[in-house]
Chain A
Amino acid sequence: MFDVVVVGAGPAGSMAAKTAAEKGLSVLLVEKRQEIGTPVRCAEGISKDSLSRFVEIDRKWIAAEVVGAKIYAPDMTEVVLAEEMAGNEVGFVLERKIFDRHLARLAAKAGAEVFVKTTALGFERTEGGLKVKLRRLGEDWEVETKILIGADGVESRIGREAGIIKTLKMSEIESCAQYLISGIDIDEKYTYFYLGNDLAPGGYAWIFPKGDKSANVGIGILPSLAKMPAKQYLDRFIEKVGVRGKIVEFVAGAVPVYGEISTAVTDNIMLCGDAAYHSDPITGGGIANALAAGYHAGVVAAEAVEAKDYSAGFLRRYDERWKSDFGLKLRRNKKLQEFFLKLDDATLNRLARSISGKKIEEMSVQAIIMELLKTNPSLIEVLKDFFS
Chain B
Amino acid sequence: MPKKAVVDRRKCAYCGACVAVCNLNANELIETYLEIKDNCNGCGICVRTCPMGALSLMEV
Contact = CB atoms under 8 A, between A and B. Distances in A.
27 contacts: A32-B30, A39-B32, A154-B16, A155-B16, A156-B20, A157-B25, A167-B20, A167-B23, A168-B20, A170-B21, A170-B48, A175-B50, A175-B51, A176-B15, A177-B13, A223-B48, A229-B50, A229-B51, A230-B51, A250-B13, A252-B13, A252-B17, A252-B51, A253-B51, A254-B17, A254-B51, A256-B20
Given A229-B52, A254-B51, A160 B13 contact: no
Contacts of A154: 16-17, 19-20
Interface string A302-328: 000000000000000000000000000
Interface of B: 13-17, 19-23, 25, 29-32, 45, 48-53
Contacts of B29: 32, 155
B39 to A, nearest CB: 14
Given A232-B53, A252-B17, A170 B31 contact: no
Interface in A69-120: 117, 119
Contacts of B32: 39
Contacts of B13: 39, 177, 250-252
Given A167-B22, A168-B21, A39 B50 contact: no
Contacts, number: 87
Interface string A166-193: 0111100101110000000000000000
A196 interface: no
Given A169-B21, A173-B20, 18 more contacts: A34-B31, A154-B16, A154-B17, A155-B20, A168-B21, A170-B45, A170-B48, A175-B49, A223-B45, A226-B48, A228-B53, A229-B52, A231-B51, A252-B17, A252-B51, A253-B51, A254-B16, A254-B17
Question: 5 tightest CB-CB pairs across the interface, nearest first?
Answer: A254-B17, A229-B53, A155-B19, A252-B13, A230-B51
Interface centre among B20, B22, B25, B32 (most CB of A within 10 A): B20
